[in-house]
Chain A
């Protein structure tokens, strides 16, 4: 369907207007102007912030410069989650632009992964794709690809305008035998801010043993039943993917094919409903 291809484009070109400010304690030589950027939802913070780094390094004393990291309202941001997930999880229902604080000191190494070079991001991205394919096809599709095919996926992610290049390869990771009605298991992660655990990730098939197509609602019923409210109670949670709340009736296989991030995982954020 032509419409469905448009969904892939909309997801790929999703942007979040963001305002970066330097952590006040780190300003030294002169005042740092904030820096504004449109961040791709499907990318990673450390992959798209070279300009931010350059901008603030002009005003920070060289001896104070450690590894750059980001924080939103006191929470260190995990760069290895896609940008859209960080925004949906921590800053949904807040005013735009998203206000992110930049640090060059006191790297919180007990909370976030180091990211010394783009090789670290590439390794993380490829290992997510591999894990997703282990779930979808027992790893057979990704293992049958050549090194240059892996590179094509990674290069695609690095350049926002490489939608076609990325999807020419990613298409293969989205295939499945028609008679099975979907992937072996759906690669998904459910995040909530209120939990001790970073995310929920379990095995879930797109089709029931009786042959019924399973939906987002079925997934939530099993993994996080509190997200589904009864008719007579007020809505407690929002279930957000790429900034929208998909209908619970949406087949999970369709979501996996169309709303997954380039890492091939369907990232689902569960956040408290705004209390207005």
Chain B
């Protein structure tokens, strides 16, 4: 049995099971393998880190210009889409700026056996190695994704120990994952569409912390359909 068909079967066995919107660990691995195959095609930079005697995780490192608009002021929300695009382009043009203006993001996708869902961990540091503080990370969250953060910052994004590496990482809390995946999975089931849990989940939570999942992950027919 190929990894691919196994990942699709997961949709039948696990996700399509009424009332269950979680992911078992084997299915997580297969979803990741399928994800990584597509990442290789796109040269999207994801890789798998194997951990001795235990589960592994997916990893990607990205350099980005710093964006820092304080959490309390919602200035960016009043911009038109065009203005936003312009601002993004300006930011991109500044990539070559000083070390302090570039942030290195390292994203890790791990499996939480407690919640039976994937979890996004990441670090953010400047080029000279200083880690961003929690406040800086909160401030860098995309303005479109701030509602949850403003309501319950301490239940949304905090610093936690990486369960494999034992080092401080930021973590997007997984306790709501099943809740927001449920309607997506139900719709997919109704429309008889196959979906890769990890792709779908990451395209929902990733943008909050500036991690974009290219749309082709969802549309490549071989990956998502039989």
Contacts and interface: CB of A to CB of B under 8 A. Distances in A.
B113 A123 contact: no
A134 B166 contact: no
A114 B113 contact: no
Interface in A99-141: 109-114, 116, 119-120, 122-124, 126-127, 130-131, 134-135, 139
A205 interface: no
A201 interface: yes
Size range of the chain B interface in the assembly: 20 to 34
A202 B113 contact: yes
B133 interface: yes
Nearest to A135: B114
Interface string B144-188: 000000000011001111111111100001010000000000000
Nearest to A81: B161
Given A109-B168, A127-B173, A114 B159 contact: yes
17 contacts: A113-B161, A116-B134, A120-B159, A123-B154, A124-B160, A126-B154, A130-B175, A131-B115, A131-B175, A134-B114, A134-B115, A196-B52, A196-B166, A197-B164, A197-B166, A201-B113, A201-B114
Contact of A139 (B162, B167, B175): B175
Interface string B110-142: 000111000000000000000101100000000
Given A119-B154, A134-B175, A198 B166 contact: yes
B71 to A, nearest CB: 15
Interface of B: 51-52, 54, 113-115, 131, 133-134, 154-155, 158-168, 173, 175
A120 B161 contact: no
Contacts of B134: 114, 116
Contacts of B164: 197-198
A134 B22 CA distance: 12
Given A80-B161, A196-B166, 8 more contacts: A78-B161, A109-B168, A113-B168, A114-B159, A119-B154, A127-B173, A198-B164, A198-B165
Nearest to B133: A114
A114 B131 CA distance: 11
A203 interface: yes
A84 B164 CA distance: 22
Interface string A80-102: 10000000000000000000000
Interface string A251-267: 00000000000000000
B54 A112 contact: no
Interface string A201-241: 11100000000000000000000000000000000000000
A198 B175 contact: no
Main SS of chain B's interface residues? Answer: loop
B114 A123 contact: no
Interface of A: 78, 80, 109-114, 116, 119-120, 122-124, 126-127, 130-131, 134-135, 139, 187, 196-199, 201-203
Contacts of A139: 175
A187 B163 CA distance: 15
A123 B54 contact: no
A135 B173 CA distance: 16
A135 B112 CA distance: 11
Contacts of B115: 131, 134
A109 B132 CA distance: 10
A114 B162 CA distance: 14
A187 to B, nearest CB: 8
Nearest to B168: A113
A9 to B, nearest CB: 29
Given A80-B161, A123-B155, A198-B161, A111 B167 contact: yes
A103 to B, nearest CB: 17
Nearest to A139: B175
Contacts of B162: 198
A109 B161 contact: no
Given A119-B154, A122-B154, A130-B175, A113 B113 contact: no
A122 B158 CA distance: 11
Contact of B159 (A111, A113, A187): A113
Contacts of A114: 133-134, 159, 168
Contacts of A113: 159-161, 168
Contact of A124 (B114, B158, B166): B158
Contacts of B168: 109-114
